[in-house]
Structure 1
Amino acid sequence: MAIPQLVPSPSSTLTYRLSLSPNSSLNPTYRRLAKPSQSRTNNLAPSHRRKPNLLLCSTSSFSEKHYTGSPKSDDLVELPLFPLPLVLFPGAILPLQIFEFRYRMMMHTLLQTDLRFGVIYSDSATGTAEVGCVGEVIKHERLVDDRFFLICKGQERFRVVNLVRTKPYLVALVTWLEDRPSGDGDGNLEGLANEVETCMKDVIRLSNRLNGKPEKETQDLRRNLFPTPFSFFVGSTFEGAPREQQALLELEDTATRLKRERETLRNTLNYLTAASAVKDVFPSS
């Protein structure tokens, strides 16, 4: 399946948006949460596979350690859902601001239980997806007006089986989603992951050049991650293309996910190479 060229924005260099030490205060730029429409909350449907025309590469403060204590995939549990116009991946860090009344109610409940809820992609065009990722609250701050600042970490993926209720907020019966054993051996998966890392480094290098930034050696992007969590990390960097991110999140095969990411990055690299050549010929343009 061919993916069209993805055009990077001027901010497409890989940079950390959030870095928290154990003693740091909760002061990142939080995502303000839009109120989901009623049609979205009552219409759980797979997202369209329309290809994006924009790719923003920026890290999601991805944790070096990937959550490995996933429940069994045949378990069915009730999970409160938070529809958002973004995609959370396992291992990624997501800062949020909770201000809407029903989700403040949800937070009060979560603070007395296990601090876990489902983040699920939703937009006005495609409705709410069937596959999402558990967000675990790892740090929170409650303000005097009852708003909450949260730092959440992506955990296991899930698939919605049925809605339990829609008010005051969505609660669904979900089953856990795990990658199936791949036909590619461990060696092939490692090779794919290394190819994807190389493509990412090339994209960063050319992006920096086009934006007039120093071309210095790119950091180690894998940071000893195994292929599966690394594939989630790569997907988390495609911030400007949430529908492509959702398609990657829903894949149940690590090799397929890495191959799709490699193709996306190569298309982006082709664009950047052409743009760099034009800039060399016409430096003032």
Structure 2
Amino acid sequence: MSDLLPLFPLGTVLFPGMVLPLRIFEQRYRTMFARRVDDDPIFGVVLTLSGREVGDQPEVYSVGTAASLLKAVRYDDGCVDLAVRGGRRFRLLAGHWDEGYLTATIEWIEPGERSTLAGEQTRRLAEQVTQAFSAYLDALERTADLRIERAELTGDPVMVAFTICSLMPFDTAQRQRLLEAMSPVQLLEVLLATIRRDRDLLLATGIGGAALDHPGSRFSAN
């Protein structure tokens, strides 16, 4: 089943469950916000492939994430600060810029195989991923001489995986690759290998990952 959804091209990957702050200042996105403020999802977030976020019609990746509005703060100059949360993933089928912003026909990406065998494999992989993430944090504490407050990661294995994706300092290309995983098993296998690689890199060099300042830690402007 396909739907029509306005899209927000950014230099950031939005994962399901991840909260992302945004600042809207371009007129075209103010218009989009005004038209969609009461809709859920309010828009979709897609990673820019080429071109600029501001004042351009950039090419975008074909897999993105629907965003639900959590909070909006409007200013006298017309700018708006938003907080959105990632929801369902989608695949872009066709798009146009007739409204000044990108509007696309999209299809929703289903969670993937839910058989008993696949479920058991997913749970085992999820346990390995959480253990690897904990080991990565242990290594980070030792190499950086700091203490990290940790939250318990429980619940749906896929959402746990996406939560860890949003917390790890992966570069943007790796984040997009994880977002595009077409099954829970594929997502968890790629995530597990990447966390273990970054832990080894951290212990060997004191540097974990290619981007220590992940996108969720700062505002992303349109």
TM-score range, shorter chain: 0.7 to 0.9
| Structure 2 CA distance for partners of 1:195 and 1:137, relative to 1, 3 Å | same
- Which residue of structure 2 lines up, in the alignment, with residue 103 of structure 1? 29
Give per-residue Cα distances to partners, 1:36-80, cap 9 Å, x unaligned.
xxxxxxxxxxxxxxxxxxxxxxxxxxxxxxxxxxxxxxx211100
| Structure 2 CA distance for partners of 1:198 and 1:114, relative to 1, 3 Å | closer
- Which residue of structure 2 lines up, in the alignment, with residue 249 of structure 1? 179
Would you say the 8 A contact 1:199–1:266 is kept in 2? Answer: yes
Q: TM-score, normalised by structure 2?
A: 0.82
Among residues 124, 129, 150, which one is paired with 1:219 in the alignment? 150
Matches within 5 A, 1:156-171: 156-171=88-103
| Structure 2 CA distance for partners of 1:230 and 1:114, relative to 1, 3 Å | closer
CA distance in structure 1 between the aligned counterparts of 2:2 and 2:41, rounded to whole angstroms = 18
- Which residue of structure 1 lines up, in the alignment, with residue 205 of structure 2? 275
Q: TM-score, normalised by structure 1?
A: 0.65
> Which one has the largest radius of gyration?
1
CA distance in structure 2 between the aligned counterparts of 1:115 and 1:178, rounded to whole angstroms = 17
Q: Which runs of 5+ in 1 are unaligned?
A: 1-74, 277-285
Give the RMSD, CA atoms, in angstroms.
2.1
- Which residue of structure 2 lines up, in the alignment, with residue 152 of structure 1? 84
| Structure 2 CA distance for partners of 1:259 and 1:221, relative to 1, 3 Å | farther
| Structure 2 CA distance for partners of 1:242 and 1:199, relative to 1, 3 Å | same
- The percentage of counterpart residues that share the same residue type is 29
Q: Is 1:203–2:129 an aligned residue pair?
A: no
Would you say the 8 A contact 1:140–1:148 is kept in 2? Answer: yes
Q: Which runs of 5+ in 2 are unaligned?
A: 52-57, 207-222
Q: As a proportion of its length, which structure holds more helix?
A: 2
CA distance in structure 2 between the aligned counterparts of 1:176 and 1:146, rounded to whole angstroms = 32
User: SS of 2:76's equivalent?
Assistant: coil
User: SS of 1:192's equivalent?
Assistant: helix
User: SS of 2:62's equivalent?
Assistant: strand
CA-CA distance at 1:275 after TM superposition: 3.5
- Which residue of structure 1 lines up, in the alignment, with residue 125 of structure 2? 192
CA distance in structure 2 between the aligned counterparts of 1:88 and 1:243, rounded to whole angstroms = 12
The one-letter code of the counterpart of 1:206 is: A
